[in-house]
Amino acid sequence: MVPTPATDVARDHEDAQPADVARLREELVRELRELKALVTPEVERAVRAVPRHLFIPEVPVEKAYAAEHHYVTKKDEHGVSISSVSAARIQVMMLEQAGVRPGMRVLELGSGGYNSALLTELVGEAGEVISIDIDEDVLDRARRLLPAVGYPDVRLVHADGEFGAPEHAPFDRIIVTAGAWDIPPAWVEQLADGGRIVVPLRMRGLTRTVAFDLDGGRLVARDYQLCGFVPMQGAGESRTDLVLLHGVAGEEVGLRLDDGQQVEAVALARALRQPRVERWSGVTVGGFEPFDNLDLWLATVLDGFVLLTGTVQARERGLVASVSPLGVATLADDDSFAYRTVRPTSEERTLFEFGVYGHGPNADALADRLVDQIRVWDRDHRRDQARIEAYPLTTPDDDLPAGRVIDKRHRRITISWP
């Protein structure tokens, strides 16, 4: 289902005064800089050059230039978003990670229009942008919008991105704009010397856009950032499993499992119905301070790491204390689980303390282990970045860095810490 442009809004766009659009684009640039998504003058020039509102004619001009606004163009039969024009903040952040320079050949996996236009500005006349999508409806939209807005040279290809675009390879940059679970061989094979892949990669349920440089047979991350993306379709599709612990409509609580993890659903559902134990860590975080690296640390060091999911009603009913669309870091064993939560340290609610709630016969031990690792992260790794690498499947354990090894279908992903 692709929504057709609402006539009123389309008319609104036609009526938009050039001065208003110019002002909105300037505000977008300022906001993206404040958010630290926009860094370099090259990407800034591209954002200034491309009229984003013309790629989202369905929404009012103000919304089109809001840094965090993404527009869903298609949902599947279950209501899951499968195509969108991503938020400008995410697109710009990934372009900065990619470091696209004039003259480069870039493969964009997942089309839409706006991002291809930004890439066209970055590669200039001597470069080339190839954008592939698995969905004809999405391509039709891009085929219509790109030439109309002034970017007729983007090559649009209907294909499953799992296999890249061999007829157009090699690429200096491959930018993946759907959530991937693995790095298929085609992407590496089609990469030019010195090439880079930017990909939203899911590791133990956590997705980060990772910028990988090729270094011999392995890929080494130079940067990674928190993000959320629509799921990959086609041969590389691999969704997380959801195990329901509480199935009452509207107040569901579950565990999200990834990378072949398994849990005892009946025992853990029973555990949720038992009173909880709690621990407080003494570790605090500011209200606007990101702590996604804490979760990456916990996913690295804890064997039973899974993600707790729940609805806002489930939290209001007191079934769980924390919910997040990205999932809440949890440690589970056969019959018990414990999850991370926070409480404000003062009435002003500017500072929050991390704690842990546990349920089930082994709740005390799990809560102790989780709270210990929150303290270890705070003491030893709070200012560190993880080292993420992707090795060929044939790499023996002894040749991998110490840390977490996540075996995928095509690659062995490692997460290690200094």
Ligand X SMILES: C[S@@+](CC[C@H](N)C(=O)[O-])C[C@H]1O[C@@H](n2cnc3c(N)ncnc32)[C@H](O)[C@@H]1O
Is 238 an annotated catalytic residue?
no
Q: Which of 116, 60, 61, 47 is nearest to 85 (CA)?
A: 116
Cβ proximity to ligand X, 182 vs 378, nearer residue: 182
| CB 332, CB 340: distance < 8 Å | no
- Distances 10 to 7, 27, 88, 251 between C-alpha atoms, Å: 5, 22, 20, 39
Give me the 40-79 binding string for ligand X, x by CB under 6 A, dash otherwise.
----------------------------------------
Cβ proximity to ligand X, 130 vs 298, nearer residue: 130
DSSP 327: -
Query: Helix count (H) and strand count (E) of the chain?
Result: 12, 19
| CB 212, CB 220: distance < 8 Å | yes
Binding span for ligand X by CB under 6 A among 23-31, 112-120, 336-344, 361-369: 112-120
Name the catalytic one among 83, 84, 86, 111: 86
Binding span for ligand X by CB under 6 A among 9-17, 36-44, 230-238, 381-389: 230-238
Subset of 130-159 contacting ligand X (CB under 6 A): 132-135, 138
Binding span for ligand X by CB under 6 A among 29-37, 81-89, 119-127, 382-390: 81-89
| CB 377, CB 357: distance < 8 Å | no
| CB 242, CB 262: distance < 8 Å | no
* CB 90, min distance to ligand X, A: 8
Which position among 96, 121, 162, 258 is part of the footprint of ligand X (CB under 6 A)? 162
Q: CA 366 to CA 247: how far, in whole Å?
A: 24
Q: Which of 192, 136, 129, 195 is nearest to 160 (CA)?
A: 136
Binding span for ligand X by CB under 6 A among 207-215, 225-233, 252-260, 307-315: 225-233
Cβ proximity to ligand X, 171 vs 352, nearer residue: 171
Catalytic residue positions?
A: 86
**Residues of this chain that bind ligand X (CB under 6 A):** 82-86, 91, 108-112, 114-115, 132-135, 138, 160-162, 177-178, 230, 232-234, 236
